[in-house]
Amino acid sequence: MSSPLVSIMVPVHNRRVLLADCLKSALAQTCRDIEVVVVENASTDGTWDVCRAFARADSRVRIFRNPENIGPVRNWQRCFREAEGRFGKLLFSDDVLASYYLEKTIPLLHDPHVAFVFTMAMIGPGPRASRLAHRFDDRTGRFTRQHYIRRALFGSRAPVSPGAALFRIKDLRLSLRLSIPSPTIDDFERHGAGIDLLLYLMTAARYEEVAYVAEPLVFFRAHEGSISHAARDSLLIDRLSSGAYLVRRAYAGALDAGLDPGRRVAQHDEAQAAPREPGLHRGSISAGGSRKLDPMKLGIVTISFNQAKYLAEAIESVYVADPERLEYVIVDPGSTDGSREIIESYRRRFSRVMLEPDQGPPDGLNKGFAALDADILGYLNSDDRFAPGALDYVLRYFERHPSVDALCGAIRIIGEDGRSSLRRRTPDPIDLRRYAYETCFFWQQATFFRREAFLKTGGFNVASKTTWDGELVVDMALAGCRFAYTNKLLGDFRVYGDSITGSGRLNDALRRDRQNMREKILRAGVPRASGLEVRVMKYLYKFNLRRHWSYLFDSEELEAPQ
């Protein structure tokens, strides 16, 4: 029997619940010339029974079992040893491959000058609530080893997890190291941090190029017990943040061959002080496990569809004093009124432009947020605008209030011509019972939240036609997120004849969506109100003098977090 072209290798320990999804994705590859090698690392939860069931059902599955737990990195090594294919794909047991992963990557690796092929990935607790990772470039193609090694060692957005790439089996066997010389860290085998990066670098140094597919073809699940989730542990944070530094120091000579003559790794590194205690900003670690030493960043998504008249004004309002602290994505599913030409004229302002069909605004927002890697998130409709200085204020607020998950601010109502009314609209403290009966209001144009709060919700409800913005805040409240409020003006809400709010054309859908949201709140245990109670609540809200006073005269100073 001839050897398979590709070995998909699955090291596994105590993943009984998640393993089936992983193996199904491996076996569903459109490239059929594969084997699936599963090495079970002395699990105690019934994982071995899942392995045996798949091996009985499909002859392409070959299973092995370690009599005792040898640790994750040595288990990778055994996977490489048992594999019989020419190419190797390491697939961790809680992750999932797109069915066409191999179809997209194999052709690039047939080139003998290419070291490996890596792709974008999605990271999160579930596919619906995930973000993009390894966005190395906007295009699929080949890159010189020099460019890749510099980016991996001294830059960003290069892959770390070997689960993002397709290698040759011989290179996996040759490049895997069980440890990295270090005076203080001796447990690399326990987590693989640093070893994973070194696997890429040592392989790249032996070839002329690496290849990249600008599509998210693998999903990394962040959950309790995963490395992505554990990256919030302070001990592991130290390992992860120092991994690249230790690789540079210990393997500078081996990696010199991969860089341009005259620019050796050791020479570059000598200009950098050795890290004493990695100065990590804890608030910047996303639920997907990314690790950043940079200042907190703000990510904004604008959804655009046939509102060219207002689009440039919306785009220009997305501004922070330090452009490095802003990620800006625009999503347009198919405008035909000149919006796309306006987007093209502002292309340099965007981190990413997404011109593709979607299932409506909430679906477009989910796609846009998945493309962001920022700490704080917000979004803007293409006919609204942010107030001058608002986004810098938001960044400062979250930096000063690390316990706050979401911030609600004030807005102005503006007309078609951009002129504002005299009164602001300040946010009401979130009260789910009052919100269920339409006596509590907050404003999307002035609402911002941490990435972790967004991930807790599972994203925007794509079934909603009108209230996806309010439902997201409801979901955050139901998830236990902590809100704060400010009367500072953060955004302008445009109401005019053709807008959804001004035209009333979706009133029937609005009634349905509000009813669905009310039932969601009541199902969570919030007491139902009688008809009389609702009338009283609305009367008291309408004639609340304190609320009207805040619209006209309240200062813009911060209110204490609620």
Single out the residue in 76, 94, 112 at which a domain terminates.
94
The answer to whether residue 562 sits within a structural domain is: no
- Angle of helix 468-478 relative to helix 507-523, nearest 10 degrees? 10
Shared domain check, 329 and 223: no
Return the amino acid letter for 169.
I
Q: Would you state the structure tokens that stand for residue 504, as one six-digit string?
A: 């009333």
**What is the distance of C-alpha 301 from the center of its chain?**
13
Shared domain check, 175 and 45: no
The answer to whether residue 291 sits within a structural domain is: no
Shared domain check, 328 and 232: no
Number of structural domains (the chain) is 3
Alpha carbon distance 253, 260 (integer Å) = 13
Shared domain check, 497 and 355: yes
489, 409 in Cβ contact below 8 A?
yes
From first to last of its 562 residues, the chain has per-residue pLDDT tens of 578 999 999 999 999 999 999 999 999 999 999 999 999 999 999 999 999 999 999 999 999 999 999 888 889 999 999 999 999 999 999 899 999 999 999 999 999 999 999 999 888 887 666 778 778 888 899 999 888 887 776 555 677 778 889 999 999 998 887 755 444 444 444 544 567 888 888 898 889 999 999 999 999 887 555 554 444 443 333 444 344 444 444 444 444 444 444 444 333 333 333 333 222 222 333 333 333 445 899 999 999 999 999 999 999 999 999 999 999 999 999 999 999 999 999 999 999 999 988 888 999 998 899 888 899 999 999 999 999 999 999 999 999 999 999 999 999 999 888 787 666 788 989 999 999 998 888 899 999 999 989 988 888 888 888 888 999 999 999 999 999 999 899 999 998 766 555 555 577 888 899 898 899 999 999 999 998 988 888 888 787 766 666 655 554 544 444 4
Q: What string of DSSP letters covers 97-133? A: E-TTHHHHHHHHHTSTTEEEEEEEEEEEEETTEEEEE
Task: Name the 3-class secondary structure at 533.
Answer: helix
Alpha carbon distance 480, 461 (integer Å) = 18
Alpha helices in 413-506 (DSSP H): 432-436, 451-457, 468-478, 500-503
- Cα–Cα distances (Å) from 495 to 132, 245, 498, 502, 517, in that order, read 34, 53, 8, 5, 23
Q: What string of DSSP letters covers 211-267? A: EEEEEEEEEEEP-TTSHHHHTTSHHHHHHHHHHHHHHHHHTHHHHHTTS-TT--HHH
Q: Residue for token digits 């245990």?
A: 525
412, 337 in Cβ contact below 8 A?
no
Alpha carbon distance 275, 282 (integer Å) = 17
Shared domain check, 180 and 35: no
Shared domain check, 544 and 506: yes
For residue 33, give the CATH number of its domain. 3.90.550.10
379, 485 in Cβ contact below 8 A?
no
Q: Residue for token digits 């409709």?
A: 381
Structural domain for 118, as ranges: 98-271
291, 241 in Cβ contact below 8 A?
yes
Q: Residue for token digits 């890749």?
A: 148
